[in-house]
Structure 1
Amino acid sequence: MSAMENQQEGPRRQQSSPRGRFRTRRVVLAGVAGCAVLGGVLVLVPWERPAEPAPPSPGALAMAAVTTGVPAALPDLAELIGEREKRLRTHPRDARSWAVLGAAYVEQGRRLADPAYYPRAEKALRTSLKVRPRRNTRALAGLAALANARRDFPAARRWGEAALKLEPRRWTTYPLLIDAYTGLGEQAAAKRTLDRLTELRSGPDVLARAAAVYRDRGWREDAAASLADAAAGARTPAERAAYLERAGQLAWERGDLQDALRHFQEAVRLDPDQRAAQAGQGRALAALGRTTEALNAYRVALSKQPCPRYALELGELYESLGMPKAARVQYDLLRERVRGATAGGADEELVLGQFEADHGDPREAVRRLRAEWRRQPGTEVADALGWALHRSGQSEEALRFAVRATESDHGGGVRSAVHMYHRGMIERELERYGAARRHLAEALRINPHFSPLHAPAARAASEALGEPPDEELPELDQE
C-alpha cells in the first residue's frame, strides 16, 4: 500500500457505526476517569524520597585523608589501620594496601608524636615497592611523607622528586616537596612548586599549603587569609581543627594573644586530639598571665603527645616562674623523647640543639647544629646555630647565621620575634649598638610575649641600650 493509500485509509476507518462510536466514547471516558482516580491517589500518597546515602565509614574518611595528605582524626586512622592490616593478612601482595597502611602509620606517628610508628611505616612502604617495584607512585610519595615526618628533608626531596617524575600531574606529591624544599632552605623551589600545585588543584588543602609558604616569605596577611578560607572549606572536623591550629600559631607569632587563644580553643573543641592546639593554648594563656590554666593546658598536651618542643616550652615556663626542679623534669623528658625519636629514625637535633644552647652545653649545641646545617640548611637551623655559637662565645661567626635567618635575601623571610631577638643580642655583644636596638625593638614589636624567659631579657637589653645618642649634624663649609 502506498503512502497516499495510507492517508486515504485513515478517514474510511473513522466512519464507523453509531454503536461503535458509543463504545469508543465509553472507553475514552473510562480511561479519563481512571486517570482522575489515579491522579487523586498520587495526590494523596506522598512521593517516596530516595534513601539518603550512608555516611562514609571512619576508615573511608581516613583513607581519603591519608591518600591526599589531609589531616585525619585519630579514631578514623586507627580504624583504617585495622582495616588494612586485616586485608593484608589475606592479600599480602596488595601493593596499594601496603602503601595506604604505611601512609596511615606516618600520620598516626605524627599525630601522637610517637616515632615508634615510623619503622612500621617504612616496612609497609618498602613492602609495597617490593610487591610492585615499577611505577609505584603511591609508595614513593609515602616514603617522602615519612622522611618529612622524620625531619629528613634530603630524603624527602629525593623520594618526592622520584614520585613526581613518574606522574608529573599527581597533585598530592607537590605538598611533600614543598615541605622538603622548605626544610632545606630552598625557598625559591618551594614557591615554584606551590605555583605548579595551584595550577593543578584548588581547595582547602592547597590553601593551607599556600599559607605555609606565604608565612615563610613574611606575607602574614596572605597567610592568614588563606588559612581562614581553608578552615571555612574544610570537609571534616579534624581537617578544620588543623587549619585553625595553624591560624592560631600565626596569630601568636604576630602577638595577637586573644585571637590566637580563640583559634586554639575552637580547634580543640572540634578535635579533642588536636594536641598542638592544646600546647598553643598553654603558650597564649601564659602570655595572658593565666598561669594555672597554661600549666594545665601544657600538661594535657604532653600527656597525650609528648613532643620534645612542648617539653622545652613548659620547662621554660616553669623556669620563668622560679620553679627549677619542675623545669628539670621537663628537660629530662625532652632528652628521653629525643632518644626515642633517634631509635625511630627521626631527627630531633634541632630542638635538642636549641635546648643545649640555653639550658645545657652550648658547645655541644654547636657540634650538633653544625652537623644539622651541613645536612639541611634551613632557616630554623641557621637561627639555632647562630644562637648556639653566640652562647659558646663565638659571636662573630654567629652573626653570619643570624643574618641568614632574618634577611629575606638569604631565605630568612619569616617575621620571627625569636630570630630578631637572637640577632639583636648577638649584635649587642659585638657592640653594634644601633643594629642591636633596631632588632631588639623589632622582636618586641612583632610579639612582645614571644617567650616567658627571653621576652623579658629582650626588654631589659633594649632598656639598657637606651635611646640612640643625639649626634650633631656636621657643619657645612662656609665659602
Structure 2
Amino acid sequence: MDNRSSAPGTSLITGPEQPRRWSRWLRRVLVTALAGGAVAGAVLALPPHGHRSGAPRPAAGPKAAVPAAVTFGVPAALPLLTEVIGQQERRVRERPRDARAWAVLGTAYVERGRRTSDPASYPKAEQALRTSLRVQGAGNTGALDGLAALALARRDFPAAKGYAEQAVKATPKRWSAYPPLIDAYDGLGDFKAARASLDKLLALHPGPEGRPAVMARASAAYRDRGWREDAVAQLTDAAAAAGTPAEQAAYLTGLGQLAWERGDLPDALRHFDAALRLDPDRREALSGRGRTLAAQGKPAEAVAAYQEALARQPSPRDTLELGELFESLGRTRDAEAQYELVKARVRQAVAGGVDEELLIGRYEADHGDPWEAVERLEAEWERQPGIEVADALGWALHRAGDDEEALTYATTVTDKEKGGGVLSALYAFHLGMIEAELDRTGPARRHLQQALRINPHFSPLRAPEAREALGALGDVPDEPLPAETP
C-alpha cells in the first residue's frame, strides 16, 4: 500500500534559493476587482445609469465609453479591462500627480495579471500603486485596495491583511473593502476573524451594484464551512442579479465548480458551458470543462478543453492538471512535457513576485522530491497557515514517510473547530491514505469512502488510487455485538 516516491534532484525550481515573499460610463461606470472565494479577482463595469439589470445590453464598440475608476468588487470582460489600462496609461502620462489614476492603473494591472496568468503585470502594478501612495498617502483607499489585490494575487496573505485592514479602518462603511480582508484572514487560517468580517460585510446591505459580489463572497464562506446548499443558493442569486454578462459568467463558473466538487458532472458542465457563452475568456470555465469531460470518460475532449484554456492563459495549476490527466491516460511523454511546462511557468510566476510554494509543494510531493515539498511547505505553514497549506503539508509528510506527523496536519484540515469544514474529496482521501499507513483501518475506510462519496471523480490519478486502497482494506469485519453485562 506504500506508494510513496522520492526522486532527489527533480526540484520544480532549481538554482539559487527563490524568494518566498512574494462614475459609471465615462463618469458613471465603476470597475471593481476581486470579488473573493470561488470568483475571486474578477472586474466589473456597472451598467449605465437607468439600465435595468438583466435587460439586453448593446455590444461594446470602438466608441464605447471607458470606465474611469477601478476598485474592489465585481467581474468584467477582458476587452474592457484592456480599455481601462490604455485609458489610465494615457492619463498618468498627462497628469503624473493624479493619485487616483495611478491607483486605477495599478489595480487594472493586477487584474490583467490574474485573469491572463501573466505575472509580468504584477511588478508594473506595484510600481503604479506605490506611485499613487507617494502622490497621496492619507486616505488613499484606492491604492490600498489595489495593494491588497496585488498581495492576494501573489498569495502574500500577511501583506494583504495589512493593506486591507488599513482600507477598512479608513472607510469602515465601504463594502468593497471587506472581501480582500476576508480572503487574507482565510489564507492565514484566522477563521474567527474571517467570519467576523463577513458578518460586518453582510450588515452593510450594499446597493444593487454590490449585492451580487457580496452574495458571491458569502457563498465562498458557506462552501468553506461545508454548507453546500447555502453556498449554491447564494451564488445562484448572485448570478441572477449580475449586472453584466461577464459578471454573470464568473458566478456561473463558481456554480460549476461547486457542482464539480459534489460530483454532479452534468450540472457542472451545464454551468461551465453557460459561462463560456457569456464570457469566452473565462479560463476557469474552460479548465472546469476539461476536468468534467475527463471524469465523464471523454479524454480527447478533456485534453482539448485544457489546451484551449492554456492557450488563452497559461496557468501553472491548469498545466499540472493536464499533466496528471495525461499520466492517468498512460501518455507518459505528454505528461512529462506538461510537467516541464509547469516548472517554466512557476519560474515566471516567481519572477513576478508570486508565492508559489503551495503549488511547488504539491508538485514535489507527487512528482518530485517529497522531502523538498516538506521543507517548503513547513516554511509556508509558518508564514501563512491556511487550510490548503495544512493539507499539502500533511500529504507531503505522508509521501516522505512521516505518517505520524502527517496525521496532525491532515486532521487539522478536516477539523471544523479549526476551520476545516469544507467537504473536499481530496482532503478526505489524503486523511484516509495516511490513516491506512498507520493501520487505523476503520477511520481509513471511513474517510476513503467519504472521498468517493463526495466526488467519485475528484482526480484522474487519485480517485482510482482511493478505490484500490479501499479494496485493500477489505470489508468491515462481521463480528458479533459484545455481550450485555448482567
TM-score bracket for the superposition, by shorter chain length: 0.7 to 0.9
Secondary structure at 1:67's aligned position in 2? strand
Amino acid at match of 2:205: R
Deviation at 1:60, TM superposition (A): 5.6
Higher helix share: 1
Which residue does the alignment assign to 1:86?
90
Deviations 1:265-320 (A, max 9, x none): 11111101001100000000000011111000000001111111101110010000
Which residue does the alignment assign to 2:154?
150
Which of 274, 279, 285 aligns to 2:287? It is 279
Deviations 1:68-105 (A, max 9, x none): 42112110000010000111111100000000001100
Is residue 162 of structure 1 aligned with residue 166 of structure 2?
yes
Which residue does the alignment assign to 1:103?
107
**2:484 & 2:335 partners in 1: Cα distance?**
60
Amino acid at match of 1:91: R
Please tell me the root mean square deviation across aligned C-alpha atoms, in Å: 1.6
Q: Is the 1:341–1:348 contact (alpha carbons within 8 Å) kept by the matching residues of 2?
A: yes
Deviations 1:80-132 (A, max 9, x none): 10000111111100000000001100110000011100101100000000000
**1:294 & 1:439 partners in 2: Cα distance?**
28
Which residue does the alignment assign to 2:338?
330
Which residue does the alignment assign to 1:39?
none
**1:67 & 1:239 partners in 2: Cα distance?**
15
Deviations 1:346-373 (A, max 9, x none): 1111111111101111111111111111
Deviations 1:300-341 (A, max 9, x none): 001111111101110010000001110011111111111111
Q: Is the 1:59–1:77 contact (alpha carbons within 8 Å) kept by the matching residues of 2?
A: no
**1:273 & 1:402 partners in 2: Cα distance?**
36
Which residue does the alignment assign to 1:195?
199
Which residue does the alignment assign to 1:253?
261
Which of 308, 321, 324 aligns to 2:316? It is 308
Which residue does the alignment assign to 1:218?
226
**Any stretches of 5+ residues in structure 2 without a counterpart?**
1-49, 52-56
Deviation at 1:201, TM superposition (A): 3.1
Deviation at 1:470, TM superposition (A): 2.1
Aligned identity (percent) is 63
Q: Is the 1:279–1:310 contact (alpha carbons within 8 Å) kept by the matching residues of 2?
A: yes
**Any stretches of 5+ residues in structure 1 without a counterpart?**
1-51
Which residue does the alignment assign to 2:29?
none
Q: Report how many residues are paired.
A: 426
**1:430 & 1:459 partners in 2: Cα distance?**
18
Which protein, 1 or 2, shows the higher relative CO under an 8 Å CA cutoff with sep ≥ 6? 2
Is residue 186 of structure 1 aligned with residue 190 of structure 2?
yes
Q: Which runs of 4+ in 1 moved over 3 A?
A: 52-64
Is residue 232 of structure 1 aligned with residue 248 of structure 2?
no
Normalising by the residue count of structure 2, what TM-score does the alignment of the two structures yield?
A: 0.85
Is residue 133 of structure 1 aligned with residue 124 of structure 2?
no
Which residue does the alignment assign to 1:471?
479
Normalising by the residue count of structure 1, what TM-score does the alignment of the two structures yield?
A: 0.87
Which residue does the alignment assign to 1:23?
none
Secondary structure at 1:121's aligned position in 2? helix
**Aligned residue runs from structure 1 range 346-357, under 5 A:** 346-357=354-365
Which of 199, 206, 212 aligns to 1:204? It is 212
Q: Is the 1:261–1:284 contact (alpha carbons within 8 Å) kept by the matching residues of 2?
A: yes
**2:435 & 2:345 partners in 1: Cα distance?**
34
Is residue 436 of structure 1 aligned with residue 444 of structure 2?
yes
Which of 338, 363, 373 aligns to 1:365? It is 373
Q: Is the 2:71–2:145 contact (alpha carbons within 8 Å) kept by the matching residues of 1?
A: no
Q: Compare CA radii of gyration and give the structure with the larger one.
A: 1
**2:363 & 2:228 partners in 1: Cα distance?**
28
Deviations 1:388-434 (A, max 9, x none): 00000000000000001111112111000000000000000000000
